[in-house]
Amino acid sequence: MLQNFTSTRSPEELLAEADSLAVLRFNESTETTQSLIDTRVELLGELGAPFEVWKVEDASVEHGTTGNCVWARTNTLQFTAISAPLAQGDDFEATAYAVYQELLSVIETCPHPELVRFWNYIPNINHGAGDSENYKRFCTGRLRAYSKHHLQDLQFPAASAVGHYGTGITVYALTASTSAEHHANPRQVDAFKYPRQYGPSSPSFARATTIELNEQRLCFISGTASILGHSSVHQGDLRLQLYTTNDNILYLLKETGFKASQIRTLRVYLRHKSDLEACQGIVAELFPGTTVLYTHADICRADLLVEIECFCVDE
Ligand code: 3EB
């Protein structure tokens, strides 16, 4: 069974465990640890300095490096990560293209090439005006790389794309040997069909992706925000944005055949640190008893205050 949790043990110790598939570090750090994935996104709350861990109970994990990618795999799942430095003035489209091109090449030739879930962490995501906003440039580079690998709309996996205050782009991906099913949200326009006003290239992701693994179904709900149709709603109102986000997540649970009680972990990306307490209160009301990780991250649309992603297991 795939497990997702946080731990305050050292990354060396966590990575040394035979069944660790991925260990993720938050915040910017100058220490380098082989195989540790740096999100650079800042953690909020009183968790100390935890690491996020994905592990597969009783599996044996093989680790490797191919070019700039680090990967770890069991007999059914693979995590692959890549980071690229970005200096001021570097072109986000070119960097996104290079990162995705290399990542997709490694995935394509691995034993578990089915795209399930991608995470994108991008510095200064909202910098730049109009079509030159970093996120929009990123979307163009990502889409070009997907096209080069003959992947299009309905093959795009669940994803999150948020900003951080560190340096460099990090993308990491979960892929599988079994076929993945990608899902839409009936209340939202598919991201890959967003109209031109959101940028020259639409974002390449599905609202949710499910896989079946060892008779268990797993569901990855993408970063979900206060968007109805294709429009951001409730600008400036954290509470109403969270209610709409929650509704969107409930629709996605229904679409994918999951129940709210099957949500294992939530990750909340919050634009303003000062919203933390209010956000914690509302999230605790909406998702009672669920393990939540709060991070300080800019959302890819400048008018959104919060985005939430979920990992669910059917059992
Ligand atoms: C949205 O629904 C909000 O570009 O990979 C959410 C999840 C969002 C993933 C991505 C963007 C991405 O459009 C933004």
Give 97-114 pLDDT, tens digit per residue. 999 999 999 999 999 999
CA 138 to CA 127: how far, in whole Å?
A: 12
Domain of 115? 2-314
Asked whether 269 and 306 are in contact (CB, 8 A), the reply is yes
SS3 213: strand
Mean pLDDT of 42-56: 87
Ligand 1: does its nearest atom lie under 6 Å from the Cβ of 225?
Answer: yes
Residue nearest atom 14 of ligand 1, based on CA coordinates = 300
> CATH code at 34?
3.30.1330.40
Ligand 1: does its nearest atom lie under 6 Å from the Cβ of 219?
Answer: no
Asked whether 115 and 157 are in contact (CB, 8 A), the reply is yes
pLDDT of 88 > 90? The answer is: no
The closest-lying atom of ligand 1 relative to the alpha carbon of residue 205 is 5
Per-residue model confidence as pLDDT tens digits over 254-264: 999 999 999 99
- Among 33-37, 130-134, 184-188, name the one with the lowest average pLDDT: 33-37
Pocket probe for ligand 1: among 207, 300, 306, 308, the residue whose CB has the most ligand atoms within 8 Å is 300
Number of domains observed in the structure of the chain = 1
Per-residue model confidence as pLDDT tens digits over 213-246: 988 999 999 999 999 999 999 999 999 999 999 9
CA 216 to CA 71: how far, in whole Å?
A: 23
Q: Catalytic annotation on 307?
A: yes
Please state, rounded to an integer, the average pLDDT across all residues of the chain.
Answer: 95
CA of 223 to the centre of ligand 1 (A): 6
Of the candidates 123, 7, 101, which has an alpha carbon nearest to the alpha carbon of residue 55? 7
CA 101 to CA 189: how far, in whole Å?
A: 27
State the DSSP H helix or E strand holding residue 309, giving kind and residue range, or none if neither: strand 306-314
Active-site entry in 133, 307, 309, 315: 307
Per-residue model confidence as pLDDT tens digits over 296-315: 999 999 999 999 999 999 98
Ligand 1: does its nearest atom lie under 6 Å from the Cβ of 141?
Answer: no
This prediction has a pTM of 0.97
SS3 168: coil
- Among 133-142, 148-157, 159-168, 256-265, name the one with the lowest average pLDDT: 159-168
